[in-house]
């Protein structure tokens, strides 16, 4: 990742590392339960201690997502969420945080392809977005996105998995900018009892393959898990556990409270990770 210095996300991760901790990366989908309230939810998450945000584009066929995120995406689409709405949320994050919190879009490829890859990259950059995470786009297929992102200095966050070979780790580390997203286990998004050992091994292997920054996602839901992952990863990515707080039938303000509370617990977990664990 020779161009990592130009990445705002990487800079943020370095800055946090300097203060002795990993970043908390929080995911929420745009448009759930509607666009205006998804903006409220994202800013609530930022105020409660998220360092980097991931804003999901709801998609009809989210093969990397478990039931929680599927339900939110389905509801968002039913409520009329559009791809361009993600830019509204990106803008809101930039404004709300005074540009200190990088906003990454997480999107399956077809909505971006349909929008126009170059046009999407341009509009994302104009909205103040940091880049994009692409769960179903591997570097091998990403020539068009990669060229557009390079031109605009946007982050290209690709995934690696416990099944990735050393060769693929090299390829992905080389192609990524911002960080490499390490999937903690083989599976889809969702909360899990524990984050397996495979995650730490994968982070180590991805770093050996040349990645400067590696964040871990899939299955982190508690402060304790965040503390565990925060010991060795540059960032702890949480999705389903946050989305779940918004899926209840409680009044909206109560749901926002729950979101803030869970975010706070995760942030506290990340904050204590390297003090109690005695790890580097």
Q: Is 51 helix (H, G, I), strand (E, B) or coil?
A: coil
Label residues 20-45 b or e (16+ Cβ within 10 Å = b). ebbbbbbbbbbbbbbbebbbbbbbbb
Smallest distance from other proteins to CB 44, Å: 26
CB of 64 to other proteins, least distance (A): 5
Active site includes 65? yes
How many other C-beta atoms can be found within 10 angstroms of the C-beta atom of residue 2? 9
* Nearest of 38, 92, 21, 29 to residue 266 by alpha carbon: 21
What lies within 8 Å, CB to CB, of 31 at 6+ separation is 38, 58, 76, 77, 79, 80, 81, 82, 85
CB of 50 to other proteins, least distance (A): 24
Residue among 247, 244, 169 nearest 214 (CA)? 169
Is the Cβ of residue 38 or residue 164 nearer to other proteins in the bound state? 164
Provide, rounded to whole angstroms, the least separation between the CB of residue 69 and other proteins: 12
Question: Cβ closer to other proteins: 126 or 166?
Answer: 166
Q: Count Cα neighbours of 273 within 13 Å in the Cβ-side half-sphere.
A: 30
Choose between 83 and 241: whose C-beta lies nearer to other proteins: 83
Closer residue to other proteins in complex, CB, 210/260: 210
Question: Which residues sit opposite 191 in a β-bridge?
Answer: 219
Catalytic site residue from 51, 54, 85, 155: 54
Query: Which residues would be at the binding site for other proteins (CB under 8 A)?
Result: 59-64, 66-67, 70, 74, 77, 82-83, 109-115, 135-138, 140-141, 158-165, 168, 172, 183, 186-188
Residue closer to other proteins (CB basis): 130 or 188: 188
Per the listing, tokens 């068009």 go with 144
Concerning whether 51 is annotated as a catalytic residue, the answer is no
Q: Note the helical H segments in the chain.
A: 8-18, 35-47, 67-78, 85-96, 109-115, 117-126, 143-152, 166-175, 197-208, 223-232, 240-246, 252-276
- Minimum CB separation of residue 66 from other proteins in Å reads 8
Q: Which of 51, 65, 155, 234 is catalytic?
A: 65
- Which amino acids are annotated catalytic? 54, 65
């Amino acid at each position: 990742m020779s161009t990592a210095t130009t990445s705002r996300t990487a800079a943020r991760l370095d800055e946090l590392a300097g203060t002795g901790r990993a970043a908390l990366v929080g995911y929420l989908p745009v448009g759930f339960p509607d666009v205006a309230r998804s903006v409220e939810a994202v800013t609530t998450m930022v105020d409660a201690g998220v360092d980097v945000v991931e804003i999901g584009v709801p998609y009809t066929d989210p093969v990397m997502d478990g039931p929680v995120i599927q339900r939110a995406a389905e509801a968002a689409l039913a409520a009329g969420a559009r791809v361009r709405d993600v830019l509204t949320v990106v803008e809101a994050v930039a404004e709300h945080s005074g540009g200190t919190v990088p906003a990454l879009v997480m999107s399956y490829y077809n909505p971006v392809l349909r929008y126009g890859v170059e046009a999407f990259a341009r509009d994302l950059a104009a909205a103040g977005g940091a880049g994009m995470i692409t769960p179903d786009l591997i570097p091998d297929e990403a020539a068009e996105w990669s060229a557009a992102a390079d031109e605009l200095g946007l982050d290209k966050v690709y995934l690696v998995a416990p099944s990735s070979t050393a060769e693929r780790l090299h390829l992905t580390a080389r192609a990524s900018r911002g960080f490499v997203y390490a999937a903690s286990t083989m599976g889809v998004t969702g909360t899990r009892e524990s984050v397996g050992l495979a995650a730490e091994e994968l982070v180590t292997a991805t770093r050996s393959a040349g990645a400067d920054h590696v964040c871990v996602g899939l299955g982190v839901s508690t402060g304790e898990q965040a503390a565990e992952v925060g010991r060795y990863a540059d960032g702890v990515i949480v999705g389903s556990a946050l989305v779940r707080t918004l899926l209840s039938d409680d009044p909206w303000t109560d749901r926002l409270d729950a979101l803030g509370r869970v975010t706070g617990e995760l942030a506290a977990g990340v904050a204590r990770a390297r003090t109690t664990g005695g790890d580097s």
